[in-house]
């Protein structure tokens, strides 16, 4: 049996832009992750290809985004002086304006479209765009480091071709922009596991946000308290996300696989490690459903590089040595990083905090089973994998 084909979407231009030296979002991470993949020999595997991309077309951008917002985004992108328009979320600390901004956003969205196209038109089993996953971009507003919502654009293209799509978001932040894009649609089931919006950006993503109109029951949110650890994260995935994916049985899965859930991420308070992250990648691969994977968040450079290397290895069925390759260790040591290990041991949070997180996740699971599961069951049949 021939090996399933996989594609890594990568443009040398990914590192051509910068949000600013003091901004937490560092585009350098794409190149560091690629360097680690190369050190492990993951860029010359049988059945895999590296594909370049081009900026997304305006016609596809306007399937979601407001024309006035896009016009202002392009105007600011071409300006040499600092600009701001807070009506559109442009120019604040999270979403700075810099020359070439639109080109940067359009290239990332174009890479996601290329990943979707390869899965849809060329028969690739999996396509991975590290420079995707801008899930906070809204129809007419930049938010959370995101300007164009690449996932919504690519999913719109897939839906227009008659595909039923499942969007899974495991970033630490709620995928609010993607939820907005499909809140009234029954052609896309969105599932987001994230740190609770009670105290955390973007302040949304609660269990009662289940969709409206024909989309009622097609939006699923699993808010997690701070200090949710590996075991609790896998519990939420296994008891909600995985059985819903199996029941919905989509034509294509689009995932945002941000690594800011890791316990040493500087911006978040979840406590997962490579243990549960790799577990979820293996479970998704085992579904054998065409898969478009997008990078997303991650504000510790080495966590992000390790996570996406693990993801790419799992996508290709490769088992990696737990110690980082010596060539890569030498490179990162010069940058001030002491890391020597790819894999983390399974982590448990402190007992009191863990008990609070466990109680919260059990209540969320019970609520989702009462509200969302029956509708999916009625339409798509029995849920398996429980």
Q: What is the 3-state secondary structure (H, E, C) of 287-321?
A: CCCCEEEECCCCCCHHHHHHHHHHHHHHHCCCCCC
> Would you call 136 a catalytic residue per the annotation?
yes
Cβ neighbours, 10 Å, residue 352: 9
Find the catalytic residue in 23, 65, 135, 136: 136
Residues with a catalytic annotation lie at: 136
């Amino acid at each position: 049996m021939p090996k399933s084909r996989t594609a890594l979407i990568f443009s040398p231009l990914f590192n051509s832009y910068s949000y600013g030296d003091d901004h937490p979002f560092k585009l350098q991470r794409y190149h560091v992750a690629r360097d680690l993949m190369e050190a492990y020999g993951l860029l010359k595997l049988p059945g895999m290809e590296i594909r370049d991309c081009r900026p997304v077309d305006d016609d596809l951008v306007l399937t979601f985004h407001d024309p006035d917002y896009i016009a202002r985004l392009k105007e600011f992108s071409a300006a040499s002086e600092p600009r701001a328009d807070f009506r559109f979320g442009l120019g604040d600390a999270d979403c700075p304006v810099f020359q070439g901004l639109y080109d940067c956003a359009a290239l990332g969205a174009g890479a996601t479209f290329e990943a979707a196209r390869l899965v849809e038109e060329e028969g690739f089993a999996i396509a991975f765009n590290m420079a995707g996953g801008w899930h906070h971009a809204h129809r007419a507003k930049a938010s959370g480091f995101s300007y164009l919502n690449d996932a919504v654009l690519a999913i719109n293209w897939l839906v227009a071709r008659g595909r039923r799509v499942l969007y899974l978001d495991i970033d630490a932040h709620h995928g609010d922009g993607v939820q907005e894009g499909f809140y009234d649609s029954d052609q896309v089931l969105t599932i987001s596991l994230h740190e609770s919006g009670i105290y955390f950006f973007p302040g949304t993503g609660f269990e009662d946000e289940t969709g409206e109109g024909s989309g009622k029951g097609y939006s699923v949110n699993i808010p997690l308290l701070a200090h949710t650890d590996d075991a609790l994260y896998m519990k939420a995935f296994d008891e909600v996300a995985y059985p819903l994916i199996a029941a919905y049985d989509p034509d294509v899965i689009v995932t945002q696989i941000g690594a800011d859930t890791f316990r040493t991420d500087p911006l978040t308070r979840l406590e997962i490690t490579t243990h549960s992250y790799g577990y979820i990648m293996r479970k998704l691969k085992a579904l054998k459903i065409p898969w478009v994977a997008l990078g997303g968040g991650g504000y510790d450079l080495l966590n992000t590089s390790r996570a996406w290397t693990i993801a790419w290895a799992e996508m290709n069925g490769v088992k990696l040595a737990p110690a980082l390759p010596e060539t890569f260790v030498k490179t990162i040591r010069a940058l001030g990083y002491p890391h020597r290990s790819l894999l983390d041991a399974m982590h448990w949070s402190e007992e009191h905090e863990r008990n609070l997180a466990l109680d919260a996740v059990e209540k969320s699971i019970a609520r989702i089973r009462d509200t969302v599961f029956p509708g999916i069951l009625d339409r798509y049949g029995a849920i398996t994998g429980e």
